[in-house]
Amino acid sequence: MSDEIIITLEQLRGLIGLRMIHQGSLCRVIEVLEDGPSLVLQSIGESPTIQPNQHGEATRRSPVTYTIPVLNEEHTELSTDFLALDLVE
């Protein structure tokens, strides 16, 4: 018998578009990564940061993004980062 938590990508994809607070920053869920699985959050309230190109030259500003693992490394519990997200209504 496995103690792994089973969470489907369809369940996680239902979170896309929701606004959440991550470490004090207002963010929106923009993507679900199958590997992990993980949520990708894009900051709504922060100023865009300078993004370098492949040569390290600053070329544009882009929103801050965060990748949040849904499960711990053993897949037996929800990750602390995921549990720390606060849903904004």
8 Å CB contact between 35 and 46: no
Binning pLDDT at 50, 70 and 90, where does residue 87 land? very high
CA–CA distance from 17 to each of 14, 30, 33, 48, 73 (Å)? 8, 6, 15, 19, 26
Do residues 58 and 64 lie in contact, with contact meaning Cβ atoms separated by under 8 Å? no
The domain spans of the chain are 9-88
Residue 7: pLDDT over 70: yes
Q: What is the reported pTM?
A: 0.83
**What's the rounded Cα separation, in Å, for the pair 57 and 18?**
33
Average pLDDT over residues 25-29: 96
CA 13 distance to own-chain centroid: 12
Residues of the chain above pLDDT 70, percent: 98
**CA 62 from centre of chain:** 16
Q: Determine the average pLDDT of the residues in 17-41.
A: 96
Top pLDDT among 41 and 56 is at 41
